[in-house]
């Protein structure tokens, strides 16, 4: 099966981490050159995957964390919802720490990424991959043994992969598992990449290019994205209203209480529908769609 619209890989790193060398080893292709200031933030690459079950060219988005607090704030903002919904994997790449302070920064970064992943899960069920990749500096002076890092990463929801020390092609650990870059690729190949093309239009936005006409989420697109859910809700309300009007000629003594309750229910549902519209108005398009569909579905099922 050819996956034509795969989810994306988000590769996150700190400055001067050798991210591009890692991506070259992972993909077998040379990534784009860094910006003039040596930053890799906003660059993109791709990983070609071919297994007996599927093939896909998975886009890789590269981000660089120069300020952890600012990065976390940006990714936890509502505006990041559309980006998060397009991701199928998080890969945090870091140089092996040479001091306890560096090690703590790595752990704080993993914790921040986990907060963002949790936010991503709140937007909808997410079954992606989270990898923490330590790039080797040689054995001298490294903080933490692999077993310790494995425990730290696992506590934050990441699989730990050691790369660049003793991960020659074909090498396996004591359990017969692949190691190094080959393990990273294996973990990504085992992921489910198929899904809606929620990342359309985001690739150019993340590269800093101006939005085209298709990238503008104007009021017209909001009405389009909400139309199906609103139409379904409208049918339900119309049926309720028809029942009220249709019962007007029945025995008033028996139906007054029923009709009063139905009128109250109609007003309640209309008020909640308007609340859904108001709440979702500032969300990115894809997030609005999911929010509207869920809210309307919950509203129609509510007593």
pLDDT at 132: 97
The chain-wide mean pLDDT, for the chain, equals 75
Rg of the chain on CA atoms, in Å: 25
Which one has a higher pLDDT value, 32 or 176?
Answer: 32
Burial of 134 (0-12, 13-18, 19+ CB in 10 A): buried
Which one has a higher pLDDT value, 30 or 139?
Answer: 30
CA separation, residue 214 to residues 200, 202, 253, 284, 302 (Å): 9, 11, 58, 13, 36
Q: Is residue 208 a contact partner of residue 64, using CB atoms and an 8 Å limit?
A: no
Percent of the chain with pLDDT over 90: 42
pLDDT at 165: 56
- pLDDT at residue 9 is higher than 90: yes
pLDDT at 223: 36
pLDDT band per the 50, 70, 90 thresholds, residue 179: confident
As a residue count, the chain comes to 303
E strand or H helix at 229: helix 219-246
Lowest mean per-residue pLDDT among 77-91, 105-119, 131-145: 131-145
Q: Are strands 87-95 and 159-163 parallel, antiparallel or unpaired?
A: unpaired
pLDDT at 263: 59
Burial of 193 (0-12, 13-18, 19+ CB in 10 A): buried
Closest CA to 116 of 69, 160, 72, 70: 72
Read off the pLDDT of each residue in 209-220 and give the average, rounded to a whole number.
40
pLDDT band per the 50, 70, 90 thresholds, residue 104: very high
SS3 30: coil
How many helices (H) and strands (E) the chain has is answered by: 10, 7
- pLDDT at residue 225 is higher than 70: no
Of the ranges 64-73, 112-121, 188-197, 276-285, which is most confident? 64-73
Q: Is residue 80 a contact partner of residue 122, using CB atoms and an 8 Å limit?
A: no
**Whole-angstrom distance, CA of residue 115 vs CA of residue 102:** 20
Q: Is residue 144 a contact partner of residue 95, using CB atoms and an 8 Å limit?
A: no
Give the list of residues 6+ apart from residue 124 with CB closer than 8 angstroms, or none: 85, 290
Of the ranges 105-109, 122-126, 270-274, 278-282, which is most confident? 105-109
Which one has a higher pLDDT value, 263 or 82?
Answer: 82
243-282 CB burial, b ≥16 within 10 A, e <16: ebeebeeeeeeeeeeebeebeeeeeebeebbeebbeebee
For residue 141, is it left (φ>0), alpha (ψ between -120 and 50) or beta? left
pLDDT at 124: 62
- pLDDT at residue 97 is higher than 60: yes
- Tell me yes or no: is domain 2-213 CATH 3.40.50.300: no
Closest CA to 290 of 171, 126, 128: 126
pLDDT at 79: 87
Lowest mean per-residue pLDDT among 56-70, 167-181, 222-236: 222-236
The CA-to-CA distance between both ends of the chain, in Å, stands at 44
pLDDT at 30: 93
Task: Tell me the pLDDT tens digit for each residue of 49-88.
Answer: 999 999 999 999 999 999 999 999 999 998 888 888 899 9
- pLDDT at residue 135 is higher than 80: yes
pLDDT at 16: 80
pLDDT at 56: 94
Closest CA to 135 of 300, 265, 25: 25
């Amino acid at each position: 099966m050819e996956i034509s619209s795969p989810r994306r890989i988000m590769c996150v790193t700190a400055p001067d981490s050798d991210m591009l060398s890692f991506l070259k080893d992972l993909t077998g292709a040379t990534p784009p050159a860094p910006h003039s200031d040596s930053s890799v933030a906003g660059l993109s690459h791709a990983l070609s995957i071919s297994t007996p079950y599927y093939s896909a060219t998975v886009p890789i988005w590269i981000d660089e964390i120069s300020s952890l607090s600012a990065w976390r704030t940006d990714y936890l903002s509502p505006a990041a919802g559309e980006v998060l919904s397009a991701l199928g994997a998080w890969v945090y790449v870091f140089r092996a720490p040479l001091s306890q302070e560096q090690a703590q920064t790595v752990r704080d970064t993993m914790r921040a990424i986990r907060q963002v992943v949790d936010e991503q899960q709140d937007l909808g069920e997410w079954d992606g991959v989270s990898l923490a990749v330590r790039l080797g500096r040689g054995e001298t002076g490294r903080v933490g043994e692999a077993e310790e890092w494995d425990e730290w990463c696992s506590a934050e929801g990441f699989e730990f992969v050691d790369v660049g020390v003793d991960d020659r092609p074909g090498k396996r650990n004591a359990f017969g598992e692949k190691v190094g870059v080959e393990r990273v690729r294996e973990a990504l190949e085992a992921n489910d990449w198929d899904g809606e093309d929620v990342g359309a239009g985001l690739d150019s936005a993340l590269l800093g290019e101006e939005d085209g006409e298709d990238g503008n989420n104007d009021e017209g697109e909001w009405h389009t994205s909400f139309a199906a859910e609103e139409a379904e809700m409208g049918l339900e309300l119309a049926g309720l209203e028809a029942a009220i009007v249709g019962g007007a000629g029945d025995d008033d003594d028996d139906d007054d209480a029923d009709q009063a309750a139905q009128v109250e229910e109609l007003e309640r549902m209309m008020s909640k529908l308007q609340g859904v519209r108001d709440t979702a108005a500032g969300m990115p398009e894809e997030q609005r769609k999911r929010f509207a569909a869920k809210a309307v579905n919950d509203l129609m099922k509510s007593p």
